[in-house]
Amino acid sequence: MKKWVKNLAISLALPGLLLMSACGTSGGSSSAGAGAPASKEKTEAASEGKTRIIKAGIGLNEDHPEGQGMNKFKELVEQKSGGKMKVQNFFSATLGDDKKMTEALQGGLQEITVPSTSPLVSTIKEYGIYDFPFMFNNEKEADAVLDGPLGQKLLDKLPEHGLVGLAYWENGFRNLTNSKHPVNTPQDFQGLKIRTMQNSIHLEAFKSLGANPTPMAFSEVFSALESKTVDGQENPLATIKSNKFNEVQDYLSITKHVYTPFVFLVSKKFWDQLSPDEQKILKESAIEAGKYQRDVNREANQKAVEELKAAGMKVNEVSDENRKKMQEVIKPVVDKFAKEIGEDLVKEMNTEVEKARQQK
């Protein structure tokens, strides 16, 4: 409760501080330096004498690879800035879910969040190309596309929506858990009540498989599973493990039906107040911490299967043949959204994936 009150206090105090200083600095205690201009205007001195407080929030907990990545980011920023930029990390959706935090960035009330790209689709439809099921076969292909020209093209769409994208991190390949039965074939989805992310492509893809999907913020998933409001959910293994979904789900089916990236977002209102040096520190740190986060995530995903089995989950591996069948059922949904998103962009995506595939 105490922490919650503190978070709220920061949320309320920060905009005020931003307005007063008009330069995004706070923690004026270190500005005791004599001769600092008393004016309210933007001054270069702002980035010299004072400490920047950067509030960063994510939906997952501190032990999750994303949480570990955020701690790495904090360490890098504080080290590179000689302590002049301070990152305050908030985990487990204490500042809100992916959608809410992204809106807080747009409003200048929070500086950083690293959400799944999927909830962004209602704002920027092009991000939907990442939600096409069975697009990537492995992480190497995902890295090549996300870190290449297409990934950059999508980051470039963020500023007009009040956001700056610095890098892609990894949420990862998603797998289905449920409380009813193992899922192997497209028919096995029939009638299952499945929580999906707030994303129309996911919603329609699960509908086409005969499931009964319900979009919901991630922070509500555990209790929805526990109360049996839904039968199942889908997420990467590291997330299933770190959120203890095994306590409320018996079956884990390795479907790897879609890859979800995380995107490292900064509030544009905040970004525009930073000096080029400060921007560079944030960008380099987001990329460097992202490399670390991907490594930790891949290791965690690999270990999680055995850990979840040991915790009592019944795990089944879905064959490539059955994954193909699922892909065929979903195809009309993909075709429909390809038209909405823009055939050219989708073509570009397919070409990039093909290129990455050849490079093996």
Nearest to 92 by CA among 47, 69, 58: 58
Q: Which of 73, 98, 136, 200 is the binder for ligand TK8 (CB under 6 A)?
A: 98
Residue 295: other Cβ atoms inside 10 A: 13
Kindly state whether residue 246 participates in binding ligand TK8, applying the rule CB under 6 A. no
Question: Of the two residues 260 and 322, which places its CB atom closer to ligand TK8 in the complex?
Answer: 260
Q: Map residues 2-21 to x or -, x wherever contact with ligand TK8 holds by CB under 6 A.
A: --------------------
Residue list 255-274, contact with ligand TK8 (CB under 6 A): 260
Joined tokens for residue 130: 């990442």
Q: Which of 57, 59, 65, 290 is the binder for ligand TK8 (CB under 6 A)?
A: 59
Query: Least distance (Å) from ligand TK8 to the CB of residue 118?
Result: 7
Cα–Cα distance measured from residue 201 to residue 336, given in angstroms and rounded to the nearest whole number: 10
Q: Which of 197, 205, 318, 326 is the binder for ligand TK8 (CB under 6 A)?
A: 197
- What ranges in 128-260 are assigned the alpha helix state H? 139-146, 149-155, 200-208, 221-226, 237-242
Query: Least distance (Å) from ligand TK8 to the CB of residue 58?
Result: 6
Q: Map residues 216-235 to x or -, x wherever contact with ligand TK8 holds by CB under 6 A.
A: --x----------------x
Kindly state whether residue 115 participates in binding ligand TK8, applying the rule CB under 6 A. yes
Backbone angles phi, psi at 110, to 5 degrees: -145, 150
Query: Least distance (Å) from ligand TK8 to the CB of residue 35?
Result: 45
The answer to whether 58 and 66 are in contact (CB under 8 A) is yes
Query: Least distance (Å) from ligand TK8 to the CB of residue 269?
Result: 22
Given strand 175-178, what is the order of strands in its sheet? 212-215, 193-196, 232-235, 175-178, 251-254, 314-317
Residue number of the CB closest to ligand TK8 reads 59
Pairing of strands 163-173, 259-267: antiparallel
Q: Which of 102, 239, 273, 285 is the binder for ligand TK8 (CB under 6 A)?
A: 239
Kindly state whether residue 67 participates in binding ligand TK8, applying the rule CB under 6 A. no
Joined tokens for residue 193: 């009540």
Query: Least distance (Å) from ligand TK8 to the CB of residue 28?
Result: 33
Residue list 130-189, contact with ligand TK8 (CB under 6 A): 171
Query: Least distance (Å) from ligand TK8 to the CB of residue 218?
Result: 3
Question: Of the two residues 24 and 261, which places its CB atom closer to ligand TK8 in the complex?
Answer: 261
Question: Of the two residues 70 and 274, which places its CB atom closer to ligand TK8 in the complex?
Answer: 70
Measured CA to CA in angstroms, residue 252 lies from 118, 132, 298, 309, 315 at distances of: 22, 21, 18, 9, 5
Size of the site for ligand TK8 (CB under 6 A): 11
Listing DSSP states for 239-252 in one string gives HHHHTTGGGT--EE
Q: Which of 81, 102, 116, 249 is the binder for ligand TK8 (CB under 6 A)?
A: 116
Listing DSSP states for 207-226 in one string gives HHTT-EEEE--GGGHHHHHH
For CA atoms 239, 245, 246, 249, give the dihedral sign.
negative
The answer to whether 197 and 235 are in contact (CB under 8 A) is no
Using CB under 6 A as the criterion, which residues of the chain lie in contact with ligand TK8 when the complex forms? 59-60, 98, 115-116, 171, 197, 218, 235, 239, 260
